[in-house]
Amino acid sequence: MTPGGRRLVAVVGVVVGVVLVAAAIWLWRSGIETSSYPPVELDGKLISGPYELTRYSGSRIGGATVIALAALLVLAFSVRAALTRRGR
């Protein structure tokens, strides 16, 4: 592969890696949902105070982990392509 071709592969790999990282962050953040609830009263008597409930979506967090690992691999291969001096 020519030096220009390796450089192109490296640049495309970095762009794809950055897009994958952004997708992983979006999936991770959308996999965690927090809901706030007011105090519960029954006949004027306080039964429960205010609380927050956090719900985790395992499929989204797992998907974010897989995408982050893919981004790591793409970025590692891009750095390798950028630093390689000769084709094999």
Q: Is the pLDDT of residue 6 over 70?
A: yes
Looking at the 3D structure of the chain, how many domains does it have?
1
Residues of the domain holding 82: 23-32+51-88
- 79 within a domain of the structure (yes/no): yes
Does residue 12 lie in a domain region?
no
Quick check: is 37 in a domain? no
Q: 44 in a domain, yes or no?
A: no
Q: Does residue 60 form part of some domain?
A: yes
Give a yes or no: residue 14 inside a domain.
no
In a domain, 45, yes or no: no
Q: What is the pLDDT of residues 46-87, one digit of tens each?
A: 988 899 999 999 999 999 999 999 999 999 999 988 888 765
Please give the C-alpha separations between residue 39 and each of 32, 43, 68, 72, in angstroms, as whole numbers: 23, 13, 39, 45
Q: Which is nearest to 28 in space by CA: 69, 3, 63, 71?
A: 63
> Dihedral, CA atoms, 62, 63, 64, 69, nearest 10 degrees?
90
